[in-house]
Amino acid sequence: MTTPQRIAAGIEYNGSRFNGWQMQAHGARTVQQELQRALSIVADETISVTCAGRTDTGVHATGQVVHFDTTAERQTKAWVMGVNAHLPDDVSVVWAQAVDTDFSARFSATLRGYRYVLFNRKARSALLHKRVSWIHDRLDVDAMHQAAQALLGENDFSSFRSSACQAEHAMRYMQSITVQRQGDFIYFDIHANAFLHHMVRNIVGSLLVVGRGEQSASWMADLLALKDRTKAGITAPADGLYLVSVAYPEKYKLPASGIVPVFEQVAE
């Protein structure tokens, strides 16, 4: 019998028409479902994939990483070009390579990065529909950035955790968080060792309260200390959220992370 080999792959997808990453019992369309179907065709055997981070309905990815085991002997390009030939237009394999069997897309990851893109203009954009989130209120970006710095380091993020979260605990280490404006776009960039369910969207939703001037920048520190989700802001829409990077130990020699989405100014 052929010894199975482990393959790692970088995946990109537009989450607008997916019911999230994970396979669902009722058959709803998911990224995992489409990817496993295409991989199984190329491998000529049933393939099951493990991802670095499960994304919700409507969430996009430029830097998702997966791994799978297979006894099929294929050239690397078959796991990219061959699989893409069987995938729909809104999901793509960007790279693939053989890795040691101790590699896990989920458990070997040391850092994950998300970018939340907010379109901040009076009128919504038809061209950016489902690709970014939109809010018409003029926001104080400096205040939001200042407030966000209270979340750095290892903390209990219970105030930013959804009630459906299945994680054993809410302790996470946040390496960096920045808020910056480029024209009508506001970019929230967050890097942490791992994330709770809805954590990024709940953080953004709370920062918007600060951005509108409804709370001071010190409010985020207060929320963190309260450990109470009911005291924080709303969950920001999924449309603007992108999983952009997953970092692994150097020994695995994986390709660079995905493209960080930057949007051009929309003409008035």
Q: Which of 246, 242, 115 is nearest to 189 (CA)?
A: 115
Least confident stretch, 19-28, 38-47, 96-105: 19-28
**CA distances to 8, 79, 143, 214, 218 from 42, in Å:** 15, 8, 51, 54, 53
Domain-located, residue 49? yes
Pair 145, 56 in one domain: no
56 annotated active-site: yes
Q: How far apart are CA 219 and CA 42, in angstroms?
A: 52
The DSSP bridge pattern shows strands 60-70 and 133-134 to be unpaired
- Domain with 240 in it: what CATH number? 3.30.70.660
Mean pLDDT of 197-207: 97
Shared domain check, 204 and 132:
yes
On whether residue 258 sits in a domain, the answer given is no
Residue 115 in domain: yes
- Is 268 a domain residue? no
Is residue 259 very low, low, confident or very high in pLDDT (cuts 50, 70, 90)? confident
Would you state the pLDDT for residue 265? Answer: 66
Mean pLDDT of 101-113: 97
Q: Are residues 148 and 217 in the same domain?
A: yes
CA distance 3 to 97: 17
Asked whether the predicted pLDDT for residue 267 surpasses 60, the reply is no
Asked if residue 101 and residue 174 are part of one domain, the reply reads no
**Does one domain contain both 85 and 119?**
no
Average pLDDT over residues 25-43: 95
- Of 44, 56, 142, 156, the active-site residue reads 56
**Residue 167 predicted with pLDDT over 90:** no
Q: What percent of the chain is modeled with pLDDT above 70?
A: 98
Quote the mean pLDDT of the chain.
95
- pLDDT band, residue 211 (cuts 50/70/90): very high
What are phi and psi for residue 67, nearest 5 degrees? -140, 155
Q: Could you tell me if 206 and 169 lie in one domain?
A: yes
Q: State the pLDDT at residue 266.
A: 56
Residue 34, domain member (yes or no)? yes
**Residue 7, CA distances (Å) to 78, 106, 142, 161, 165 in order:** 12, 14, 43, 32, 29
* 145 and 207 housed in the same domain: yes
pLDDT in the model for residue 164? 85
Domain membership of residue 203 (yes or no) is yes
The residue out of 108, 130, 152 marking a domain boundary is 108
Task: Answer yes or no: do 86 and 20 share one domain.
Answer: yes
Q: Are residues 47 and 157 in the same domain?
A: no
The answer to whether 153 and 173 have CB atoms below 8 angstroms apart is yes
CATH number at residue 62: 3.30.70.580
Higher pLDDT, 166 or 238: 238
For residue 104, what are the domain limits? 5-108
Same domain (yes/no): 144, 159: yes
Give the model confidence (pLDDT) of 64-77 as tens digits. 999 999 999 999 99
**Mean of pLDDT values over 118-133:** 94
Q: Are residues 131 and 204 in the same domain?
A: yes
In this structure, which amino acid lies at residue 136?
A: H
> Same domain for 72 and 157?
no
Mean pLDDT of 159-170: 90
